[in-house]
């Protein structure tokens, strides 16, 4: 039995980490949804891009947030390091863009959709994925929920 207890503890710890990664850190009414994972930034970033493109969408732009902040720190005086690494991936879905625009033409201002990936300064052990909950005009409750499901599904697939 001595060998079984460490194995059991390992399995419980692994299952706990898996469950934590699948659940957002933020509440259901939070304007930003945040998920936490282990420290493999590159692998998670690749998974995120694959989850987006696997749904037939193209990453149209990558914002290199941490590089921008580091590059401009001397000129702006904004020298407190916030991130080890941080990027935002922008993409669009014609289906959701159309549905948003049907609810109200000004909803196109929420495109492109964005999911951010980052590690906090001094912490390479955790990587975070985050996205905004849409707040749309018009009769848009159904499309808002659908977009949150889309973004959440992308993040959850990236975390697998």
Residue pLDDT, tens place only, 18-41: 444 568 998 888 999 999 999 899
| 8 Å CB contact between 131 and 97 | no
pTM score of the predicted model: 0.84
Residue 105: band (very low, low, confident or very high) from pLDDT cuts 50, 70, 90: very high
pLDDT tens, residue by residue, 72-104: 998 999 989 999 999 999 999 999 999 999 999
Rounded mean pLDDT of 40-56? 97
Distance separating alpha carbons of residues 77 and 19, to the nearest angstrom: 40
Q: Which domains are seen in the chain, by residue range?
A: 4-159 (3.30.310.70)
Q: Cβ distance 38 to 148 under 8 Å?
A: no
């Amino acid at each position: 039995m001595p060998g079984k207890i460490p194995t059991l503890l390992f399995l419980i710890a692994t299952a706990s980490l898996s469950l934590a990664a699948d659940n957002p850190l933020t509440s259901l009414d939070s304007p930003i949804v945040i998920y936490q994972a282990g420290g493999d930034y590159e692998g998670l970033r690749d998974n995120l891009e694959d989850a987006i493109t696997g749904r037939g969408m193209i990453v149209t732009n990558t914002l290199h947030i941490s590089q921008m902040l580091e590059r401009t720190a001397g000129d702006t005086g904004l020298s407190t390091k916030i991130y080890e690494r941080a990027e935002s991936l922008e993409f669009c879905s014609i289906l959701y863009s159309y549905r948003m625009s049907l609810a109200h033409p000004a909803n196109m201002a929420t495109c492109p959709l964005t999911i951010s990936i980052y590690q906090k300064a001094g912490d390479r052990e955790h990587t975070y994925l985050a996205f905004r909950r849409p707040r749309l005009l018009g009769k848009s409750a159904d499309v808002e929920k659908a977009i949150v499901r889309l973004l959440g599904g992308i993040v959850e697939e990236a975390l697998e």
